[in-house]
Structure formats: structure tokens, C-alpha cells
Amino acid sequence: MLEVKDVYKRFGGLEALKGVSFCVNKGELIGLIGPNGAGKTTLFNVISGILKPEKGIIKFKGIDIVGLKPYEIARLGIGRTFQLSRPLMDMTLLDNVVVACIYGGRKRVGLKEARSIALEKLRLVGLADKAHLTPKSLTLLERKILEISRALALDPELLLLDEPLSGLSPREIDMHVSLIKRIREDLGVTVIWIEHVMRAIMGAVDRVIVLHQGAKIAEGSPREVAKDSNVIKAYLGEEYAKG
């Protein structure tokens, strides 16, 4: 579904991505991990069209997407969330999702259909009973879930999740992981998930990709990656590997 080959991105003298390559198959749940500053969000920004790489190939379903606008990439079937949830604070939850559906969705819809789709997505993530409220009344967990519902309103085939568990309690983390699994299993959406909560991501994903200082240093099953000496040295630490 997604092919990233030899991708480089620079910010002045800083090389944020250094020849990153990997593929994602339809239906996979992929974890993307690495220390702060490893290039994870930059990689998402390049895939989603916010940034253009200096070099490299990015293909989605065989289509070269380098140089396309973010809305063009979204309409091809790639949705994403951001580390910081920034909903439209003076609009209801329903209208927040309606906006995403109308302006970012893969197919053109009118207001009536958009409202139906938005309510369906809110129902899926468990926020339908609060559809009439504004984001000001939501908890951190609920705002993060709203962010996911807005991305799902695009009807994506590939969903990029950028640290959806940051700042959540252990119980909230478990709830959120269950939602991510349902998105993959019930909707058939392929997911790439950036995360620092290792307990959650290593127990949920099919495969893990590890970035360090802009380069891919490991790729494999969670078990394989946890035992990789380069990953232990760069990120996980000896105590995590022993556990």
C-alpha cells in the first residue's frame, strides 16, 4: 500500500531524515518508534504532503505522491492525526467532524450526508452522546478521540497516528489502544502509529520500525526489535530489554 524509498529531508544544515526506506502492506498495524528528534513526525509530514523531501520516492497504492498538496493526498486515502489536538473550539463535535468530511473526504458530499457520516464516526469512537457539545467540555482523552474521528471522516485507507497516547492515564491508554485495534479490525484501515508508550505499542502492532537521528536502525516484530542491540542502545535501554 505504501512505499517509502531512500527519503531525505533537511532543515538547513540538519538532516532530519537520512535515506529512510520501508513498505507497509494493506491491513497492517505498524509501530514507529524512536527517541525525541528521531524524525518520526517529520516522516509523517513528508508522507502527508506538509513537507516535501529533498530526495526519495513515496508511493501510495502505486501513485507517486511526492509534491502533491496535503488535501490531494488526503483525498487519495491518507488520513492523519497530530500530536497536539486542535479542534475548532467554538463548533460542536458534530460540526468539527462535518468540516473534515466536507473539505477533506475522498468523495464529494453535501451537508446532509456529511452530518450522517460525522455522527457515524462519533458513534464509532464513543462520542455520539456528546455530539452537541463543544470541545471545551472534553477531557484530554476525548479530545484525542475527536482528533481520530475527524481523521476517520476522510474515509482513509491509511491512517497516520502521531502519539495518540501522550498524557493519558494507564486506564485511558488501554481504552485508546482498544479503539486503534478496532479501527484496523472493523474498518480495515491500515495504521502507522508513532508512540512513546512502549507497553502499549509493543503489545498491539504487527511490526515495528525504529528511527534514530533520522535513519532507520531496525525493523521487525516487536520481539525482534526489543532484542536488537542498536535499538537497546539508542532508545529502549537494558532494563526494558530484560523485561
pTM metric for this prediction: 0.93
Q: Is the CB of residue 44 less than 8 Å from the CB of residue 34? A: no
For 143-196, write each residue's pLDDT tens digit: 999 999 999 999 999 999 999 998 899 999 999 999 999 999 999 999 999 999
Say if residue 216's pLDDT is above 90. Answer: yes
pLDDT of residue 106: 81
User: How far is residue 108's CA from residue 75's CA, in Å, rounded to a whole number?
Assistant: 10
Q: Return residue ranges of the chain for CATH 3.40.50.300.
A: 1-77+159-243
Class of domain 1-77+159-243: alpha beta
Report DSSP state, residue 235.
Answer: I
225 Cβ contact partners less than 8 Å away, ≥ 6 residues apart: 33, 202, 208, 210, 218, 219, 231
In the chain, what percentage of residues exceed pLDDT 90?
A: 84
Element at 119 (helix H, strand E): helix 111-125
Tens-place pLDDT, residues 109-124: 899 999 999 999 999 9
Contact 164, 193 (CB under 8 A): yes
Q: Do residues 118 and 99 lie in contact, with contact meaning Cβ atoms separated by under 8 Å?
A: no
